[in-house]
Amino acid sequence: MSRNAIDVLLIGGGMITHDQILPSLYHLQRQGVLGPIKICALGSGPLRALAEAPALAEAFPGQSFEAFPALDVPEAETFPELYKELVAAMPPRNLVVVAVPDHVHDPVIRFALEHDQHVLTVKPLVLRYDQAAVIERMAHDRGLFVGVEYHKRFDRRSLEARRQYRAGRLGEFRCGEAKMIEPYYYRHSNFQNWFTKENTDPFTYVGCHYVDLVYFITGVRPAEVAVRGVEGAFPNGNVGYLWASGMVRWENGAVLNVLAGLGYPDEAPGTNDQALCLYGEGENVGTILKHNDQFRGCSYGYTDHAAGAAFRYINPDYFRLVPWQGDGLRPVGYGHDSVEGLVESALAVNAAGEDLAARQSVLDEIDRRGLVATPANSSINELVIEATRLSILADGAPAVIEYKPKPRVRLR
Ligand SMILES: NC(=O)c1ccc[n+]([C@@H]2O[C@H](COP(=O)([O-])OP(=O)(O)OC[C@H]3O[C@@H](n4cnc5c(N)ncnc54)[C@H](O)[C@@H]3O)[C@@H](O)[C@H]2O)c1
């Protein structure tokens, strides 16, 4: 991999930026992989929160980002188009990191590609298959990398499961269940402004992690989705689907039930609830793959409530800032491995130089390998999201995913 640093414009300064993306980028920066980091948000509020975040200051002493708008701009002023000026001013083939709400991904990603930038986006890439197909084509035509941050793929247990499944040792997946229930307090956050019925739902938001993971492990594609939503009001009165239960049928006839929601008790140890269980069949033998992704064998009772409750399960596998030989703290876990893997993919494309065909051949190899999610190797996710939205808005009617003659989704 090339170690020629690239500059970063991170668009979006919310929760995921604070908890995972920025710490990972800071660490890559101090390793010399990344150059200067700019962050653009809708207004100065989230940027100030990041600039003053005690956890980031402790872990990355002396590191900072350039804020757009500037930190002293009044919080109430918003700049929804400011990212365009910043992207347009970037020299070609640097990196735009997209961490804005789901429904804003598409225009931001296309704008970055039009201005010759590699893209690292938090999941989901976009909300519709046709958008993913356009992004795939734009990126390939220009020899640019687009990667989607599905960090569960980098969990060591997922990588081990993929290897053993593909070696045939876990048989053929036939029936399974997954759940991801996010904390209740999400309802009080900025979620209440965008997590409304017309934009998204819990299956689209977090259920998709496990659909992607089953595909990542087994290579089997989803063929039908039926999702039932449970409505409720956010504290500000906006109405959203706060719970969802979905059934995914796969091309090999297997079925997966998925529970998703925003309601895991804030005081419970979780800090969310998540698990995957796949039953399969080998030759005259039953198989099982069971991951408890919530409780990883580590729980702490604290003297304080800084973690939201006095007793918590800890997931050091996902993301932790831990002591290391250098100053501050370093990020460890699959959250960091995932960001690093995506950044290294963009660098590998740049290492192929000015020759478009050479860059495209690196991109083809990344797609084929299938570890980092790209539009070419992960757009089953957009098809599932489309099917979910059709189904949930039709009170749980099944939506079919067809792959031929070209991918499309329709109510059955
Ligand atoms: N497990 C995961 O992979 C995971 C977890 C959490 C969030 N996410 C994804 O991350 C994204 C953001 O989620 P979040 O929880 O951080 O949201 P958030 O609401 O906390 O933050 C969104 C940020 O986007 C900024 N923003 C919105 N429109 C903008 C614009 N036009 N220009 C510049 N900035 C703009 C806002 O200022 C805010 O800082 C979503 O797509 C979500 O699905 C992924």
Instruction: Please state whether 237 falls in left (phi above 0), alpha (psi between -120 and 50) or beta.
Output: left
Does 41 contact ligand 1 (Cβ within 6 A)?
Answer: yes
Taking residues 226-253, report their average pLDDT.
98
102 lines ligand 1 (CB under 6 A): yes
11, 16, 81, 123, best to mutate for ligand 1 pocket (most atoms within 8 Å of CB) = 16
DSSP string across 60-127: STT---EEES-TTS-TT---TTHHHHHHHTSPTT-EEEE-S-GGGHHHHHHHHHHTT-EEEEESPS-S
Q: Which of 48, 82, 100 to mutate to test the pocket of ligand 1 (most atoms within 8 A of CB)?
A: 100
Confidence band for 190, pLDDT divided at 50, 70 and 90: confident
Reduced to 3 states, what is the DSSP secondary structure of residue 159? helix
pLDDT for 267 beyond 90:
yes
Which residue has the least CA distance to atom 30 on ligand 1? Answer: 80
Helix or strand run (H / E) with residue 291: strand 285-292
**Does 271 sit behind a cis peptide bond, omega within 30 degrees of 0 on the bond before it?**
yes
pLDDT at 103: 86
336 lines ligand 1 (CB under 6 A): no
At 129-161, the pLDDT tens digits run 999 999 999 999 999 999 999 999 999 999 999
Q: Is 42 a pocket residue for ligand 1 (Cβ < 6 Å)?
A: yes
Residue 104 Cβ contacting ligand 1 at under 6 Å: yes
pLDDT at 2: 42
Average pLDDT over the chain, rounded to whole? 96
User: Is pLDDT above 80 for 283?
Assistant: yes
Long-range contacts formed by 365-371: CB under 8 A, 24+ apart: 366/145, 370/216, 371/153, 371/341
SS3 374: coil
Q: Sorting pLDDT into bands at 50, 70 and 90, what band is 5?
A: confident
Region 19-28 average pLDDT = 98
Cα–ligand 1 centroid distance for 186 (angstroms): 13
pTM: 0.94
Examine the pLDDT at 312 and tell me if it is beyond 60. Answer: yes
- Nearest atom in ligand 1 to the alpha carbon of residue 206 is 1
User: Distance between CA 127 and CA 122 in Å, rounded?
Assistant: 12
What would the mean pLDDT of 347-370 be, rounded to a whole number?
A: 97
Side-chain half-sphere exposure of 341, counting CA atoms within 13 A: 22
In the prediction, which pLDDT does 208 show?
Answer: 87
Give pLDDT tens digits for 101-127: 888 999 999 999 999 999 999 999 999
Mean pLDDT, residues 329-344 taken together: 98
- Helices within 9-53 (DSSP H only): 15-16, 22-30, 44-51
The verdict on the CB of residue 123 being under 6 Å from ligand 1 is yes
Three-state DSSP state, 279: strand
Q: What percent of the chain has pLDDT over 70?
A: 99
The answer, yes or no, to whether any atom of ligand 1 lies below 6 A from the CB of 15, is: yes
Does residue 309's CB lie within 6 angstroms of at least one atom of ligand 1? Answer: no
How far is the centre of ligand 1, averaged over its atoms, from the C-alpha of 208 (Å)?
Answer: 17
Using DSSP, how many helices (H) and how many strands (E) does the chain show?
A: 15, 18
- Name the residue among 286, 269, 191, 201 with its Cα closest to residue 234: 191
Tokens matching residue 34: 């990344």
For residue 392, give both structure tokens.
């949930």
| pLDDT > 70? residue 375 | yes
State whether the Cα torsion 373-379-384-390 is positive or negative: positive
Task: Supply the pLDDT for residue 4.
Answer: 66
Question: 14 in ligand 1 pocket by Cβ < 6 Å?
Answer: yes
The pLDDT value recorded for residue 44 is: 98
Looking at the CA of residue 193, tell me the nearest atom of ligand 1.
Answer: 19
Q: Which of 133-137, 190-194, 228-232 shows the lowest mean pLDDT across its residues?
A: 190-194
DSSP string, 213-268: HHHHHH-PPEEEEEEEEEEEE-TTS-EEEEEEEEEEEETTS-EEEEEEEEEE-TTS
- Answer whether 16 contacts ligand 1 (Cβ < 6 A): yes
Q: What is the tens place of the pLDDT at every residue in 61-92? A: 999 999 999 999 999 999 999 999 999 999 99
